[in-house]
Chains A and B, each alone.
Chain A
Amino acid sequence: MRHLLTFFFTVLITVKTALPQQTTFPFNGIRDDRNLTYAFKNARLFQDYQTVIDSAVLLIKEGKVIAAGKNIIIPDGTVVFDLKGMYIYPSFIDLFSGYGLSSERKPVDKRGPQFESTLKGAYGWNQAVHPETDAARLFDIDEKKAMQLQQAGFGLVLTHQQDGIARGTGALVSTALVRDNKAIVKDSAAAFLSYDKGSSTQEYPGSLMGAHALLRQTYLDAQWYAAGGKEKEFNLSLDAWNRISKFPVVFDARDKYEALMASRLANEYNQRYLIKTGGDEYQRLDEIAKTKMPLIVPLNFPEAYDVTDPYDALNVSLRELKHWETAPANPFFIAQANIPFALTTHGLKDPKEFLPALRKAVKYGLSKADALKALTETPASFMGIENIAGALKPGMRADFFIATDDIFKDDAIITEHWTQGERNIHQTVPPADLRGTWSLKIQSFPDQKLTIKDKWHAPKATVREDTTDINATVSFKNEFINLRYESKAKKQIGTILLTATVTPATPDKLSGSALLPGGSTVIWSALRTETYRDTIKKDTTAKDSIYFGKILYPNSAYGFENLPAQEDVLFRNATVWTCEKEGILENTDVLISKGKITRIGKNLSVTGIVKIIDATGKHLSPGIIDEHSHIAVIGNVNECTHASSAEVRIGDVLNPEDMNIYRQLAGGVTSSHLLHGSCNPIGGQTQLIKLRWGKGQDELKFENWPGYIKFALGENVKQSNWGDLNTIRYPQTRMGVEQIYVQAFTRALEYERDWKKFNDLKKKNPKAAPPRKDLELETLLEIIRSKRFITCHSYVQSEINMLMKVAESFNFRVNTFTHILEGYKVADKMKKHGAAASSFADWWAYKYEVMEAIPHNGSILNKMGIVTAFNSDDAEMARRLNQEAAKGIKYGGMSREDALKLVTLNPAIMLRISDRTGSIKVGKDADVVLWDKEPLSVYARVLQTYVDGACYYDMQRDEQLRKDAEKERQRLISKMLNEKEKGGSNARKPPVTPEEHKHCMDDEDEHF
């Protein structure tokens, strides 16, 4: 930012010394450059967000402020405006605008997948990455939008093409109605990034995690390009990326989690982003504050739904209700947390909504000074232009607006907006304050009383005829006042029109002509007999109407006000399913302390503060571990677009608010392995989480875990059931699947070799150009080097066998086959290879490749000595994996001990976490479940679930949370109803938003 400032100073000086007429444009006619000085006196001047000067003078010339303050001498030859009673504010600055750029998108008729960019020219490979886009080149003043922005207070905006992942540069432009050349204050003022591929028709990226991975790889590609890659490939996009890397970067995050993701990306590449947020930051404020990234905050407060029909009300979730209530306080919370932030009009349908939204934010606690700062000094400093914009100090841009009142008052109106020293009138106001009582004389009428009252700039009037007051409409145009009323006097029934000129020098006198109902014109005049006395109205914006419920974690039903803490708990006299060689221990005590299982035994004596739970007749089991899950993921779980997407990471896109986390805790699940889907042979990197409901993205992650990757075989990767359009992507047969693997691992080894070569070469030649760092190949290399482990979606025996052979030929092992429904046919080979199996208990017949799936699969594999698990792949089934485990007894006759291990110890072993969880053993994490009956019973219910010794689910507390949520819902729904009665008459009916129920093939259909 430092050198940016210097750059701006240079610009400033250049402008100052150059005379405005010295431009390149030829002129037709007699030049009319005036270069006058303008003075604005008697106004209340906000020189900056915190300096208010009453009865100030503002002097401007040639688009710049010359002087501002009290006791300023107005030089001769100055055009003077008397702004008594008016307010002057420095123009607002919006850093997230699309002003003056076309947002039109061509409709696309796409049949079948598109793997390559359709953009012609020497650009980069991905259509959504176009850093070469330059808003300054596309900018064209949009008069209508300019006027709207001015009316909302904005004089400067940072505009950019809001399309794509790397969107190129934005231009800082004025909302002045001048030649385009003059409106651009600075081209390339900032670079823009997002996760939204926008109008790109190319397949990749097909998921949020794919967009994140694409940005990662682009940073690396750009480094490679700068370090010599250019010799190998000329690339306008990478070239532009490097060229604009010196500018501030604005990241368009659509919600709090994207904001956090973006900040992580920034940290990875030593960047500091300005993050445009989604308006829900208050829900994860501590984490947002910790990122230390400045924010650009929208005022996109949700509208109330029409919930007059109680059945409609059912469709609004507590999450939505709470957000509706609290969102207007978001800027307040951000200011409270001392996070530097600017405000933007983005997210509003129309700039007209901006001032009302801003006033709402102020009613919800944001201080006026903070609000002004976020619209002036802060955005200016974010752009390094705080010395030329954002305040009205000598030498700064003469960008300001004049308002009839404190801009935070509901009825304040912007009458004029001066941009670059040019006047733009938005609202005609009377030439003088005419309020008061007048004696009205219309020729041949008796004297009448005229009262002008209310707001001086938009007054109301009444005329007294006999004893009744008749309302008259008042309007102003230039120096004229027009009064119109319906007379009821005898002989004069009908409309009377009065017109007069207003002379500010003699404001107590009016005279002009009147048009009478008969059509005759007569003379009228009026004299002010009494001036208007403002009756002080009560502030209706009193704080009593502002209330919002407590913020919960997550901010929805079943969210916690305070997260569960680790407890020391003694389970007294339980039946303990250890899942260790001790088997099932009757009448046994288990002590957990500081998140660990510390003692197991009979009649344990404890000291200190220990919660004692009488577990007589109850059963204690290890927490259930789901080896195959797709819950808690934001966006698509599949990056289906390429045959290999090893570079994408589920861990980038965790959704801590997925209600299924809580629901599954109620089924005894404590850890879930979140997998990429199965639509390509090499999927993405998986993420193991603990179900710490209420915690943030990072805190869900299972600590110190080696890392896995999802592979897939068979019909899904061949796109067999995707319809006739999807027959293009390689592979379409099992034969091709093998080739993809062999090629991928071969390339990974060659990649390793190339880097070795380079590292050797570098010793001799420090300037040698490095190979391209490739995140996909590095991931594959981790697999070969046994630093990352495969869990492979698999069904039929041929392909299972094939993958083992491929792995063996590269000297590594397939860690886990998941689904593995024909595992029983190659159990001997799997045993020899050393693979684990994670299966469904009894699924089959949903597609051709599972027609020989049998429910005895688990039993055979287990008997063959293979580490065997049952998984869910389904948010519903995951809630009763204990029942699925019991099917291991039904089909094939497993022992009860072995059956429970299918969902506890065995998945822990295959996930390489059995040293920490998966059984009840001293020293392991206190991930335990208390059941009312034996855990394998269909009748068993979970009473409590502990993760790391903290009770995240408790049946009784669940009931309380449900009651609380219901109460809160009722409160909010009646509040919404009141809102509707107050005038939100065009409120929409709430739609049903089906919960995402994700599976392997999420992108296409619900096959597994």
Chain B
Amino acid sequence: MKHFFFIAAVLFSIHSFSQNPVPANEQTKKILLLNGTAHLGNGTIIENAAIGFEKGNLTLVGDARVIRINPAAWDTIIKLEGKHIYPGLIALNTVIGLSEIEAVRATRDYSEVGSINPSSRSIIAYNTDSKITYTVRSNGILMAQVVPQGGLISGTSSVVELDAWNWEDAAYKTDIGIHLHWPQMEVRRSRRAPPDEDQQKRSEKDLQILNKLFEEARAYSAEKNPENTNRHLESMRGLFDGSKKLFIHAHSIRQIQAAVAFAKKHGVQMVLVGGNDAWMAASLLRENNIPVVLNRVHSLPPRPDADIQLPYKLPAMLRDSGVTFCLSNEGFWQVRNLPYQAGTAAAWGLNREEALQAVTLTPSKILGIEKTVGTLEEGKDATLIVSDGDLLEMMHSKISLAFIRGKQIDLDNVHEQLYRKYVKKYGLD
């Protein structure tokens, strides 16, 4: 039996500056996390938990006061009194790995030419060497859905683990969904907005394009070996055999209703992304089993007269009306604040475990990977994090350990490196 007390600084000090950490090796040792408070992600809390895993899988999830533990059976036992264990957070609707410096065109890889791009696949552009990723995962986000942007159909998303040598390595589930950005249905007035009629025409035209595309894609998918292949239609096959979901990005109630009708008409499995007005369409969404990926809780109300805290309260409103929802934090570097979106939702009506579920279990269900991730349950991947305190609280969340499929990942990043550099310069330590 070996007791191993993890000391973060030991690991950090071996790195040279401005290098991303080395991806971790496969789990070879059996690890047991003992006495921490485990938040399973499904609403359950185990105050004094024993969480064990080997070869990347959780083999033990239990109450340390109840089950008998044989220390000899574990290579490493990490005592976590006063600390909290959570499933690794799953960030939906991100451009992590597709964007490095927002203002520099050369570093943007998320928006292809043209408005119809179902064949664009985010996975092959996913940059494992992005410096951003390491600042995100050190806040507890271990998996992400990488989503192409722009146009009407921006492309096909994949799910990655945030520790990898290359995109093949990173890929957890590829080509899971096609992203449709619903046409604007209201005339907008602003300094640069086109004339009203142009906007209306544009919107109608977009809807025609989409309907035609889906009718033709369905017909095409019925033919196994078409005479001429079409890249776009090929990539859409999965929508009609149930292997891909259609993520429709829509915000206003009018858009949401139209999007739901569209998905039903074309017989595809829909996920609503955005959903500012989802609360108005609650019964429609519930009856059609359409889950909602909410954008930032930290948003301004969609209309001047709206409840000033509406975006904060929206998660609880959806829970109350029985709509499946999860939280997201669009963007790339911004994704590190995903836990605090959940925190704010908890301040305004969710309980804390529900808020956690909205960034762990529910995202895994929406992505169709709930059998292996999303909660701390025996048999699932050992993708989990340890925080010194409440993960959803800025002042207490400090991730000290993180494992992706049992691999202990290095939580260092460019920010920590620069911090140490200047702490040293000024002698602040």
Chain A residues proximal to chain B, CB less than 8 Å? 311, 314-315, 317-319, 556-558, 659-660, 662-663, 666, 715, 720-721, 824-825, 827-828, 842-848, 851-852, 854-856, 860, 863-864, 875-877, 880, 883, 886-887, 889-892, 896, 899, 936-941, 958, 962, 965-966, 969, 989, 991-995, 997, 1007
Contacts and interface: CB of A to CB of B under 8 A. Distances in A.
B344 interface: yes
Given A663-B300, A889-B394, A896-B395, A1007 B102 contact: yes
A999 B132 CA distance: 23
Interface stretch (B2-10, B318-326, B332-340): B332-340
A991 B196 contact: yes
B72 interface: no
A556 B304 contact: yes
B101 A847 contact: yes
Contacts of A315: 186, 303
Given A842-B337, A846-B102, A896-B395, A992 B189 contact: yes
Contact of B422 (A855, A860, A880, A939): A860
Nearest to B390: A938
Interface string B148-169: 0000000000000000000000
B232 interface: no
A388 to B, nearest CB: 45
Nearest to B423: A860
Contacts of B103: 715, 720-721, 846-848, 1007
B394 A828 contact: no
B419 A860 contact: yes
Contacts, number: 153
9 contacts: A663-B300, A847-B102, A860-B419, A880-B298, A889-B395, A936-B395, A989-B187, A993-B189, A1007-B102
Nearest to A860: B422
B188 interface: yes
B66 interface: no
Prevailing SS type, chain B contact patch: loop
A877 B298 contact: yes
Given A311-B253, A991-B187, A1007-B102, A318 B419 contact: no
Contacts of B300: 660, 663, 875-876, 995, 997
Interface residues of B, number: 51
Given A844-B415, A892-B419, A1007-B103, 6 more contacts: A825-B422, A851-B131, A883-B344, A889-B394, A890-B394, A994-B190
Contacts of A856: 415, 418-419
Contact of A845 (B101, B303, B304, B348): B101
Given A666-B309, A842-B337, A938 B422 contact: no
A886 B395 CA distance: 5
B303 A317 contact: yes
A992 B187 contact: yes
B368 to A, nearest CB: 30
B307 interface: yes
A899 to B, nearest CB: 7
B188 A663 contact: no
Given A880-B298, A993-B190, A997-B300, A845 B100 contact: yes
The 9 closest A-B pairs by CB, nearest first: A938-B343, A847-B103, A886-B394, A845-B333, A557-B305, A889-B395, A856-B419, A991-B187, A854-B415
B79 interface: no
Interface of B: 100-104, 131-132, 135, 186-190, 196, 252-254, 298-301, 303-305, 307-309, 332-333, 336-337, 340, 343-344, 346-348, 392-395, 397-398, 414-415, 418-419, 422-423, 426, 428
Contact of A993 (B188, B344, B419): B188
Contact of A876 (B131, B299, B394): B299
Given A662-B308, A847-B102, A997-B300, A938 B394 contact: yes
Contact of B397 (A662, A880, A890): A890
A939 B422 CA distance: 33
Contacts of A317: 303-305
A285 B190 CA distance: 28
Contact of B340 (A892, A938, A962, A995): A938
A627 to B, nearest CB: 19
B160 to A, nearest CB: 18
Nearest to A320: B304
B394 A852 contact: no
B393 A938 contact: yes
Nearest to A826: B422
Nearest to A941: B347
Contacts of B344: 880, 883, 938
Nearest to A664: B308
A847 B187 CA distance: 32
B393 A854 contact: no
B418 A940 contact: no
Contact of B346 (A311, A851, A936, A939): A939
A941 B422 contact: no
Contacts of B332: 845
Contacts of A883: 340, 343-344, 394
A785 to B, nearest CB: 33
A887 B392 CA distance: 12
Contacts of A848: 101, 103-104
B270 to A, nearest CB: 20
Contact of A938 (B187, B253, B347): B347
Contact of B104 (A318, A847, A995): A847
Contacts of A891: 415, 419
A958 B348 CA distance: 15
A890 B398 CA distance: 7
B307 A962 contact: yes
A673 B305 CA distance: 25
Nearest to A721: B103
Contacts of B305: 317-318, 556-557, 965-966, 969
A319 B423 CA distance: 52
